[in-house]
Structure 1
Amino acid sequence: MSFQEYLSTLIPLIVFLALWGLIVLAYYALGLKRVGFDLKPYLLLFWRIKSLERILVRVSLRRRVSWLTVFDIGVAMGVGMMLYTVYFLVRNLLNLALRSGVFIEVAPPVPGLLYPWEHLPHVILALSITIFIHELAHGIALKMDGIPIKSMGVFLFTILPGGFVEPDEGVLVKSKAAIKLRVFAAGSFLNMVSFFIVLLIVLTTFQPAGALIVEVIEQSPAEAAGIEKWSVIYAINNIPIRGVDDLVRVLGSFKPRDTVMVNFIRPNGVYDSVTVILKEGLSGRAFLGVRISDFQRFIIGDLPYPIMFQLQFFVFWLIVILQSVALFNMLPLPVFDGGSFVRTIIDSAFKYRKGWARITYLAISNFCVILLLTNILATMWVWGWK
């Protein structure tokens, strides 16, 4: 590794430390604690905003009957999402063990696990929006049912911004089961609704426009021809390529050692064409040497390629994280809303048998912990680190 390459790896760390140095300096120098800020030693900054609660009261009480109906539907969906997530995790492991279907990777959105570091800004922005929507739903559900909120606002944890709602736990615990179920299911429910809205927007405003190269295999024809990662192939031998299926079909019509003309857009937005001599792959078919994904453009109008490229990754991660948080948050684990949700149901079912309620909850939650961890470990074993 050259000195410049080594220095480039340190730049994100230097920027991160400088940012938090300025935050700490401003916190103490400007006395930000007086206006609702709270700085924790583990790189966590809270800003409690009292005006947000007043806005939340107006939103939640203006159409209370409508919100009650919406969040009652959310309770039913919460049960469905919980059962589906457990089914998905069990089925996923069976697909891997029996080789009877596709194994889908399951892992937290941590750079280096399932996605490269280049995606980190998109993941942070998508995760921040998801958290804000999630906490907003909890806040509306709390105020709608008259549960006091101690504080609410925004936070910055290391590099992740988001929102938070801190309810009066004493009042919430003593509330009726129906109220608690609405509160616990609200966040995942609104995340799932947001997922469908974003998905609908994508399906109605985007169209396939090429094959996005997410990896160039070493010593491959693509690498030899100078095709870069994050380029978009839009034609081969003047045959239009609209997505992954088109590229696979067109390459399948050639033989190893055939020469083809690849038309593509480089990551900087420059259109280019190169001649590539295809090699023989492991299957005996023509091999270009790229891993690809569908590339999308707007149906009406367009944006410059570098902007469209970044927008596509952001929208992709927003869809993935909205759906993932909605589903996995409903797993009956102690740290998730699903844990409190299931505990409320079990306590109501075993109202006069507290011992049985505790045993049942521990059995269900421990099973789900093992199930989730096994899927994550299996993902690391199958896919490895990026």
Structure 2
Amino acid sequence: MNTAEVFGISLIVFWGLMYLLRKKLEGKGFQIYPFLLLWRKNTRSEWFPKIARSNWYKLFEKIGVGLGIISLISGIALIFYVISEFISPKAPQSAQLRLEPVIPGVTIGINQLPYILLAIGISVTLHELAHAVSATSNNVKVRSGGFLFLIFFPGAFVEPDEEEYNSSNYSVRLKILSAGLAVNLILAAIFFPLAIYLPPMLSQGLQIVGELKNYPAYNSSIPVNSIILGIDGHSIHTSTQLETYLHRGGIQTLTLLFPNGSIGNVSVNISDPQHLLGVYLTYYFPPFIYSLLDFIIWMFTINFSLALFNGAPLIITDGGKVFNELLKKLGVNEKTSYLIQGIITMLFISAILLSINPLQ
């Protein structure tokens, strides 16, 4: 039995237990639905009032409305772009942009699940917290809040007082709705450069993950999974550094950490006109660095996804509510807004179905 099967069975057992214990859990404030667990509690009416009413937060809210609209437009554009890629492909199928759902053991490895859950938990909590603080900033009471668990994804929510929210003006509603989207977009912007620039900075060498026959590495009997630590006495951390030294050609000495844990030197003859070693490489890090980088990558991925897909007008999303407000301001009735959102939602589902590409 593989890990994906174990995960699937564990999930079924978990939700089976939730169903059996639903009466006891409902007595403690939980609500149990098929594959959805909710815990709701009345909460304080104001959240961090000093921050909420500060000048810098007022500025953030104004910028946040712009970021919320950017998220909405970008979400729509991405959905249409993915659909167009499948209708009229301009690149090989493997290079097409996809909207694959996160399914452990199917579209991603089970080993990534802890980082995904941590990133989702942090990102969604900060998203909802921004809604609550913006409600306080605009004198709308927060009625309740809570946590949810959907299939295996954690989440959070806050609920402003419905009467006060509906009676507030257009700009107030936009600020409250856009605050969460803005936080996710800002977090994505913070973690993107970290994901790009940290790996070469933290690299301890280059791991050989594949070799080409009849090239120097293969001819020198260098084992796959060996780690290149240096060349001719120079430390190597990036492929660019390695290419610089290989370009000199001739016989060169690689310092390697072998799969068995030993360190040694191997001479290679770089006689190919293109000065190729004939290997496929990836960065090598100590184990805790791999964990850090996985978390950073998922923080970017989750926040970017939340900003675009929660920003897209998909009926139940923040973007759908922002879309309603914008069209209402233009004199378009709510029925038409929901019709447009329904069409975009169907396109979004179609893009996901076209994108699913299970792990082999």
- TM-score, scaled to structure 2: 0.73
Secondary structure of the 2:183 match is helix
Question: Is 1:165 the counterpart of 2:158 in the alignment?
Answer: yes
Is 1:195 matched up with 2:184?
no
Residues 235 and 264 of structure 1 are in contact (CA less than 8 Å); yes or no, is this contact kept in structure 2?
Answer: no
Residue 117 of structure 1 corresponds to: 110
- For residues 243 and 354 of structure 2, the distance between their equivalents in structure 1, rounded to whole angstroms, comes to 28
Distance apart, 1:98 and its partner CA: 3.0
Which residue of 2 is the match for residue 328 of structure 1?
A: 309
Secondary structure at 1:106 match in 2: coil
1:385 corresponding residue in structure 2: 359
Where do 5+ consecutive residues of structure 1 fail to align? 1-5, 297-304
Counterpart secondary structure, 1:156? strand
Distance 1:131 1:276, change over 3 A: farther
The answer to whether structure 1 residue 366 and structure 2 residue 357 are counterparts is no
Q: 2:279 aligns with which of 275, 285, 288?
A: 288
Query: Structure 2 CA distance, aligned partners of 1:90 and 1:115?
Result: 24
Q: Who is 2:38 aligned against?
A: 46
Give the Cα separation in 2 of the matches to 1:239 and 1:119. 34
**Alignment match of 2:170 (pick from 159, 168, 177):** 177
1:59 equivalent to 2:48? Answer yes
Q: Hey, what does 1:241 align to over in structure 2?
A: 236
Are the aligned partners of 2:228 and 2:255 in contact in 1 as well (CA < 8 Å)? yes
Over residues 103-132 of structure 1, what are the superposed CA-to-partner deviations in whole Å (9 max), with x where a residue is unaligned?
A: 444323333555322212111111111111
Deviation at 1:343, TM superposition (A): 1.4
Equivalent position amino acid for 1:288 in 2:
V
| Distance verdict in 2 for CA 1:321–1:8, change over 3 Å | closer
Aligned to 2:65: 75
- Tell me which residue corresponds to 1:302: none
Contact residue 211 and residue 247 of structure 1 kept, 8 A? no
Amino acid at match of 1:57: E
1:318 aligns with 2:299: yes
C-alpha deviation, 1:349, in angstroms? 0.5
Q: CA deviation at 1:27?
A: 7.2
Compared CA separation, residues 212 and 328, structure 1 to 2 (3 A): farther
Q: Does the CA contact (< 8 Å) of 1:86 and 1:368 recur in 2?
A: no
For 1:385, give the aligned amino acid. L
Q: Distance in 2 between matches of 1:115 and 1:252?
A: 37
Asked if 1 retains the 8 angstrom alpha-carbon contact of 2:67 and 2:185, the reply is no
Report the CA distance shift for 1:335/1:264 in structure 2 as closer, same or farther (over 3 A). farther
Q: How much has 1:235 moved relative to structure 2? A: 3.9
Name the CA distance, whole Å, in 2 between partners of 1:285 and 1:14. Answer: 47
Question: Are the structure 2 counterparts of residues 88 and 217 from structure 1 closer, same or farther at C-alpha, using a change threshold of 3 Å?
Answer: farther
Aligned residues with identical type, % of pairs: 21
**Greater relative contact order (Cα < 8 A, sep 6+):** 2
Distance 1:329 1:285, change over 3 A: same
Relative distance call for 1:288 and 1:160 in structure 2 (3 A) is same
Within 5 Å, give how 1:141-290 maps onto structure 2.
141-169=134-162, 171-199=164-192, 207-210=201-204, 227-228=224-225, 233-235=228-230, 240-246=235-241, 261=254, 263-264=256-257, 270=261, 272=263, 287-289=278-280
- 1:82-161 correspondence to structure 2 within 5 Å: 82-88=72-78, 90=80, 93=84, 97-99=89-91, 103-112=96-105, 114-161=107-154
Query: 2:255, 2:265 within 8 Å by CA — same for their partners in 1?
Result: yes
**Which residue in the other structure is 1:3 paired with?**
none
In the alignment, the residues of structure 2 paired with residue 20 and residue 156 of structure 1 have an alpha-carbon distance, to the nearest angstrom, of 11
| TM alignment of 1:291-302, pairs within 5 A | 292=282, 294=283
- Shift of residue 317 of structure 1? 1.0
State the AA in 1 paired with 2:34. Answer: Y
Distance 1:216 1:33, change over 3 A: farther
Q: CA RMSD, aligned part only?
A: 4.7
1:344 maps to a residue whose letter is E
- 2:36 and 2:345 map into 1 onto residues whose CA distance is 29
Alpha-carbon distance in structure 2 between the residues aligned to 1:64 and 1:265? 59
Q: Give yes or no for the alignment of 1:345 onto 2:326.
A: yes
- Kept in 1, the 8 Å contact 2:210–2:279? The answer is no
Aligned mates of 1:186, 1:128 — CA distance in 2: 17
Unaligned runs of 5+ in 2: none
Q: Do the aligned partners of residues 234 and 185 (structure 1) sit closer, same or farther apart at CA in structure 2, a change above 3 Å counting? A: farther
Residue in structure 2 matched with residue 301 of structure 1 by the alignment: none
